[in-house]
Amino acid sequence: MSALPACPKCQSEYTYEDGALYVCPECAHEWSPQAAASSDEAAKVYRDSAGNVLQDGDTVTVIKDLKLKGSGGVIKMGTKVKGIRLVDSDHDIDCKIDGFGPMSLKSEFVKKV
Ligand SMILES: [Zn+2]
């Protein structure tokens, strides 16, 4: 039985130790045991406008008209966005919107479907 934790990214159980780091052979994720130990507190939780927890791959709708810088286009309220990807930045949702292409949104302007 292995004492090593599963990969926090892909849940692989084939974690191995490489010096001070844990390494996942399946997705190449590397992390430190210290970070893993406190991950419950440190992990960023992404919430939509209603306080629902968002996860990669979720489908959300836009809750207000969002003007696009530069192009002059507007993403209309109610636009459905499939397969979001959460990122650690000011605009914390990476996604693709039909008719607009790749886009970054703020989680406070969407609602989970
Ligand atoms: Zn992994």
DSSP state letters, 20-60 = TEEE-TTT--EE-HHHHHTHHHHS---B-TTSPBP-TT--E
Contact 44, 35 (CB under 8 A): no
Summary mean pLDDT of the chain: 89
Q: With 80 as the cut, is the pLDDT of residue 2 above it? A: no
Is pTM beyond 0.85? Reply is no
Residue 70: pLDDT band with limits 50, 70, 90: confident
Residue 84: pLDDT band with limits 50, 70, 90: very high
Span 25-50, average pLDDT: 80
**64 & 106 share domain:** yes
Percent of the chain with pLDDT over 70: 90
Residue count of the chain: 113
Q: Which residues contact 6 (CB under 8 A, 6 or more apart)?
A: 12, 13, 15
What total number of domains does the chain contain? 2
Span 67-89, average pLDDT: 90
In a domain? residue 13? yes
Span 37-45, average pLDDT: 63
**64 & 96 share domain:** yes
Give residue 41 CA to ligand 1 midpoint distance, Å. 20
Give residue 4 CA to ligand 1 midpoint distance, Å. 13
User: In the 8-state DSSP scheme, what is residue 9?
Assistant: T
Give residue 106 CA to ligand 1 midpoint distance, Å. 27
pLDDT given at position 41: 52
pLDDT given at position 73: 86
Give residue 13 CA to ligand 1 midpoint distance, Å. 8
CATH code of the domain containing 19:
2.20.25.10
Residue 101, domain extent: 59-112
Give residue 40 CA to ligand 1 midpoint distance, Å. 18
